[in-house]
Structure 1
Amino acid sequence: MRKKSIAIAAALMLGTALPTMAQAQAAKTITGGFDVGPGGLPKNFNPMVATAGFTWLNTYFEPLILWNAGLTELEGGLAKSFKVSPDQTTFTFELVKETWHDGKPFTSKDVKFTLDLARNKASGSLFVARLSEIASVETPTDSSVVIKLSKSNGSFLAILSQLMILPEHALSAIPAEQIATNTWWSTAPIGTGPYKFKRYVTDQYVEMAADEDYRGGKPKVATLINRYFENPAAAVAALRSGEIQFTYVEPDDAAAFKGNNNFKVIEGGSFVVNYLGFNQKLPLFKDVKVRQAIMYAIDRNAIIDSLYGGAAKPANCGYTAANLVPDGLEPYAYNPDKAKKLLAEAGWDKINGNKPITLLTYYGSPQAANVMAAVQSMLAQVGVNVVPRVVDTPTYNGTVYKEGTPDWNAFPMIFAGLQNGPNPASINPGLNKSQLPPAGFNTMRIEFDELSAAFDTALAETDQSKVEGAWKNVCKVMNKDLPWGTLWVANRYGVASNKLKDFTWVPAPAGGPFAQHPERWDIQ
């Protein structure tokens, strides 16, 4: 307070004008590590190929609809209202009145353009398979869109919640096959969100400026900066020193910040199931007994207690919502003797013996390294020799999503995560045989007929009294056939400086997009 008084006195003595409230507001900046951790995707600017990083992308791009911050229901984004036909084949959206950051009007033509581009395989979009059931996109007026599907799809709204709407006038002249690698994304992108893209300093940071005409109100902070860090530890150091005001943190760091009045620890379920993926293009894991043995060989409770500090819970199928998980699932409790017996019955010595098997992952944190070391040690005790290999996300994606005939031996096993909520249909792209890359996320090339049929039935169910039962059946099939070795769902943590006000971060899948309202964020 004394320093502030001295500064005011000096200004008066020198005849210097004191800053107005508007000037003080204009000087506000929030800097964060918004792409640190599993919810981020550093240096990716194209939302059509993003598997994470939506916390940041959603500051300048927007979807038609998105989940609220509590992940309990969908609300309007660029659509002010939406209606769904009883058979879940016709979706009608009334659009907000908004302009793109270059002043051009946002209209239904932009929505149709985005949907057409996202369904075009040449664009590199990860939405191709997920939007394949669209039969037509109609634009009866500039402010209304009608999407018709060829069959019922209970997950369609959840899919749209991750599809950022793009400007037709800025991108339509670029050939679809050149879209993915075009420099537009990192040099001059325009969106409709509360912040405008200002600059990207290669490998260092991205800077945004407030859109003063944003329909949700003028942002309270003039500038947002997304800093890049090599790892969470570096981001934590920057947070402690005051260089940034927010970052994702590992559980150990979260514990260290608790009780510190200068910071707020944000904790919540990740809604991401971590799993071991078994490449079905290789003979190693064709026999379900091998997959079962791997599950019995891993002491999940010990890992959860020692490495997650108890802040996780075992997952015995692809999601953990209590109303969707049936009774009677096999818990795959730790039993190394049973694992050895199953491997012997499967003829593991002849299938592989003690040859090393690469365990590929994009999780590069110290905690993930400890988890994989524990898994490696436990599997070694039953005669399965895995060797962890950590790569960055672009390298990982380039390896597992490659079209044609990739090097299957480059990823015989993976340690990964896929969001399991708030809509269970979100795991369909990772497991259904209709979702093989590049169209979907089925990187392990799982083509299990019973599993795919269970997914198709659940997605098509329009009778709300039967929906939960259909998803429980998916869970049963996953638990029985083990397309993945599902491990656990861990809590996720962020730490924010107490200088931040009205700041919202949702510790959940991919960073959103969720209704986090960046225009309301403020800093003292």
Structure 2
Amino acid sequence: MSLRTMTSAFALCAALLGAAVGAPARAEEAVITGGFDVGPGGFQGNFNPLAATAGFTWLSLYFEPLVAYDDKLETIVGVLADRFETSPDQLAYTFHLADAKWHDGQPFTAKDAKFTIELAKQGTSGTVFAARLAAIAAVETPDERTVVLKLSKPSSGLLDVLTKVMMLPQHALAGIAPDALAKNAWWSTTPIGTGPFKFGRYVTDQYVELAANPDYRGGKPAVSRIINRYFGNTAAAVAALRAGEIQFSYVDADDVPTLTDAGSFRVIEGNSYVVNYLGFNQELPLWKDLRVRQAVMHAIDRNAIIQSLYKGAAAPANCGYVAERLVPADADPYAYDPDKARQLLQEAGWDKLNGDKPITVLTYYNTPLATNVLAAIQAMLGQVGINVVPRAVDTPTYNGTIMAAKPDPAQFPLVYAGLQNGPDPSNLNVGLNEKQIPPAGANFLHIRMPEVSAAFDAALAETDEAKRADRYRDVCKAMNAQLPWATLWVAKRYGVASTKLKNFVWTPAPGGGPYQAHPETWAVGQ
């Protein structure tokens, strides 16, 4: 069945089901409904911003960070901080806080910011930020509207990390033990933030509903509610979009041609900043020999996949970056060469290491495009003697498998995943530096490659902005030589919004942002 036929079928089903699958609109009420968690950018049950690695497009509607990117992903601007400055030695960051209130009416103060940052540093809380905030030696609060972060050493990516650290209310959470916080019901039942919308309700497997915050410092929102519908796949979301049940959704590249007609939709295209890769679980002997990892790279015809499946809407990645300023001119392109792949495998003794035993490729990508991509990769690797079997699961299952307290490497010998490489290049550190092995960070493949870690450490410690690109070229060089991942490509990302939406801002940001979208101004017309 073609994707167009599938979409039509889903549209028919959606039309028959009607309001049963979503929150009913109330009379004379302005409501925006979207598939904000379909595809890259989020997943069902993603309520705790301390543990979130994606979904910030949605979370930032009711939680807010001190700072965020502008909607061009070019400049970091204040959100809950009216302004901020960095000391000349880059060892002190001072934030002057906005006059804001929590959704329960309590004032937002420096104590809340201190509480949040210290909690985000504490590994027992389930945070994904512990290692990334390790350079913060102290959080000082000289008064209720000022927060000063004192660093033990310069950390050039700190502001970028802080764009994802959503402020949390001390008065609501201080009574919960940090080790009990991650799975506490508060996140999905009674959370309070400072954003333009308040948490309303969560209906399992169906939707999350937010209500306008009339006391928001940026003004009362133009719509009374925003609803986030959950969909099992992008085809179902596209069907709902066509049926007028939702006004926004993420889509795959092959959906775009079907949504550019009649002026009903606005297609938003941008760089995903996410490198897709095959990740080698370093806890297994399969991948210890560099020649095996090199063979995987040479076995995959990345350009053919980009042209035939992505329709050219991607660029090959020979390290974690594709920006010209970050990629050395002499980086190995790992050209498609199945004969060389076979030779490398033979030299490495692949027959004794694994032979034709099936190797699971675990992924959370479950779109038709991803299915076709993995089928192509499976066939190409099979031609050189590497027998892989894709296993697509939902994101909570994927996260539970790779980030388990005692993960079983046999459950994910290979992963097909993505990690953001921008807008600040420091982002990749979390998945590759030895210091980021869980529970400190997200290096769940337990990559221990001294050259890679040392290159990241040097880049993060660089205080001269003019030299940062040189340091990240060194990171790229180390990745390209050591291959902690088989880097594949960085694809374009697409969102589709109904033309009925007014003042709506969506940016294809890594992990969904956060970025300055001013959702209090979003409106919906006829």
TM-score by structure 1 length? 0.94
| Equivalent position of 2:344 in the other structure | 342
The 2-side partners of 1:35 and 1:467 are apart by 34
| Equivalent position of 1:11 in the other structure | none
For 1:273, the aligned partner's letter is V
- Tell me how far 1:483 sits from its aligned partner: 0.6
The 2-side partners of 1:86 and 1:287 are apart by 45
| Equivalent position of 2:409 in the other structure | 408
Secondary structure of 2:50 counterpart: helix
Report matched runs for 1:82-101 at 5 Å. Answer: 82-101=84-103
The 2-side partners of 1:336 and 1:319 are apart by 24
- Tell me how far 1:269 sits from its aligned partner: 0.9
Query: Do the aligned partners of 1:26 and 1:221 also contact (CA within 8 Å) in 2?
Result: no
- Tell me how far 1:403 sits from its aligned partner: 3.0
- Tell me how far 1:487 sits from its aligned partner: 0.3
Report matched runs for 1:67-146 at 5 Å. Answer: 67-146=69-148
| Equivalent position of 1:372 in the other structure | 374
Query: Do the aligned partners of 1:41 and 1:50 also contact (CA within 8 Å) in 2?
Result: no
| Equivalent position of 1:149 in the other structure | 151
Report matched runs for 1:317-332 at 5 Å. Answer: 317-332=319-334
| Equivalent position of 1:268 in the other structure | 270
| Equivalent position of 1:5 in the other structure | none
Secondary structure of 1:49 counterpart: coil
| Equivalent position of 2:22 in the other structure | none
Per-residue Cα deviation, 1:251-284 (whole angstroms, up to 9, x for no partner): 1111111133111111111000000000111110
Report matched runs for 1:377-388 at 5 Å. Answer: 377-388=379-390
For 1:359, the aligned partner's letter is V
CA-atom RMSD, angstroms?
A: 1.2
The 1-side partners of 2:388 and 2:334 are apart by 20
For 1:266, the aligned partner's letter is I
Report matched runs for 1:467-478 at 5 Å. Answer: 467-478=468-479
Report matched runs for 1:433-444 at 5 Å. Answer: 433-444=434-445
Query: Do the aligned partners of 1:207 and 1:223 also contact (CA within 8 Å) in 2?
Result: yes
- Tell me how far 1:163 sits from its aligned partner: 0.4
| Equivalent position of 1:457 in the other structure | 458
| Equivalent position of 1:240 in the other structure | 242
Bigger mean CA offset, 470-479 vs 81-90: 81-90
Report matched runs for 1:389-404 at 5 Å. Answer: 389-404=391-406
Secondary structure of 1:36 counterpart: coil
- Tell me how far 1:456 sits from its aligned partner: 0.3
The 2-side partners of 1:390 and 1:439 are apart by 26
Report matched runs for 1:152-171 at 5 Å. Answer: 152-171=154-173
For 1:138, the aligned partner's letter is E
For 1:325, the aligned partner's letter is V
Tell me which stretches of 4 or more aligned residues in structure 1 moved more than 2 Å. none
For 1:224, the aligned partner's letter is I
| Equivalent position of 1:353 in the other structure | 355
**Count of residues paired in the alignment:** 500
- Tell me how far 1:508 sits from its aligned partner: 2.3
CA spacing shift, 1:506–1:213, aligned 2, 3 Å? same
For 1:239, the aligned partner's letter is L
Report matched runs for 1:56-75 at 5 Å. Answer: 56-75=58-77
The 2-side partners of 1:230 and 1:25 are apart by 29
Query: Do the aligned partners of 1:238 and 1:244 also contact (CA within 8 Å) in 2?
Result: yes
The 1-side partners of 2:88 and 2:364 are apart by 41
Secondary structure of 1:48 counterpart: coil
The 2-side partners of 1:53 and 1:379 are apart by 32
Per-residue Cα deviation, 1:170-200 (whole angstroms, up to 9, x for no partner): 1111111111111111111110000011111
| Equivalent position of 1:47 in the other structure | 49
For 1:179, the aligned partner's letter is L
The 1-side partners of 2:198 and 2:319 are apart by 41
Query: Do the aligned partners of 1:25 and 1:221 also contact (CA within 8 Å) in 2?
Result: no
CA spacing shift, 1:26–1:137, aligned 2, 3 Å? farther
- Tell me how far 1:402 sits from its aligned partner: 2.1
CA spacing shift, 1:54–1:227, aligned 2, 3 Å? same
Per-residue Cα deviation, 1:120-154 (whole angstroms, up to 9, x for no partner): 22211111111122100000000000001111100
Kindly name which structure, 1 or 2, has the bigger radius of gyration based on alpha carbons. 1
Query: Do the aligned partners of 1:53 and 1:510 also contact (CA within 8 Å) in 2?
Result: yes
For 1:341, the aligned partner's letter is Q
Per-residue Cα deviation, 1:368-416 (whole angstroms, up to 9, x for no partner): 0110010000000000000101111111111111234x21111111000
Bigger mean CA offset, 358-367 vs 82-91: 82-91
- Tell me how far 1:367 sits from its aligned partner: 0.7
- Tell me how far 1:25 sits from its aligned partner: 12
| Equivalent position of 2:422 in the other structure | 421
Secondary structure of 1:203 counterpart: coil
Query: Do the aligned partners of 1:41 and 1:51 also contact (CA within 8 Å) in 2?
Result: no
Secondary structure of 2:491 counterpart: strand
| Equivalent position of 1:8 in the other structure | none
CA spacing shift, 1:157–1:25, aligned 2, 3 Å? farther
Report matched runs for 1:172-251 at 5 Å. Answer: 172-251=174-253
CA spacing shift, 1:136–1:25, aligned 2, 3 Å? farther
TM-score by structure 2 length? 0.94
The 2-side partners of 1:87 and 1:344 are apart by 52
Query: Do the aligned partners of 1:25 and 1:222 also contact (CA within 8 Å) in 2?
Result: no
Query: Do the aligned partners of 1:31 and 1:226 also contact (CA within 8 Å) in 2?
Result: yes
